């Protein structure tokens, strides 16, 4: 499958890693939209949040644990977590990912 985030998870494409374990990887977004802009992905491919089922949803809970850990380590008290589903919602990479955005005052929702 030609998926850029699968390649990043496999180490085939470099990334600025923030956190990694057996299930998930967090790395800096290549085009940051805020002073802190980190992406957290499951290593196993899901195309987006529409693929989450009772069979695979444990990884999403784990991702939110990792988000709490990473932000605490960075001293980032206030931040936004975003996942886009579908092109018209702004999804450009079709591998589930959660944006962590912070380090500035964030305005608006869309």
Using CB under 6 A as the binding rule, whether residue 91 contacts ligand AMP is answered as yes
Contact positions with ligand AMP (CB under 6 A) in 15-74 = 15, 29-31, 39
* Measured CA distances, 46 to 38, 43, 71, 76 (Å): 18, 9, 24, 28
Using CB under 5 A as the binding rule, whether residue 3 contacts Zn ion is answered as yes
Say whether 97 is catalytic.
yes
* Measured CA distances, 14 to 7, 25, 75 (Å): 9, 12, 25
- Closest approach, Cβ 46 to Zn ion, in A, equals 8
Work out which of 24, 36, 95, 102 binds Zn ion, going by CB under 5 A: 95
Neighbours of 1 (CB within 10 A): 8
Work out which of 6, 23, 49, 52 binds Zn ion, going by CB under 5 A: 6
Active site residues: 97
């Amino acid at each position: 499958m030609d998926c850029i985030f699968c390649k990043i998870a496999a180490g085939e494409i470099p990334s600025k890693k923030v956190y990694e374990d057996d299930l998930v990887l967090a790395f800096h977004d290549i085009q940051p939209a805020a002073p802190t802009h980190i992406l957290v992905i499951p290593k196993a491919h899901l195309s987006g949040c529409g693929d989450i089922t009772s069979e695979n949803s444990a990884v999403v809970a784990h991702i939110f644990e990792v988000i709490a850990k990473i932000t605490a380590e960075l001293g980032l008290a206030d931040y936004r977590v975003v996942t886009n589903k579908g092109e018209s919602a702004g999804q450009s990479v079709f591998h589930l990912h959660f944006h962590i955005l912070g380090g500035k005052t964030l305005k608006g929702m869309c």
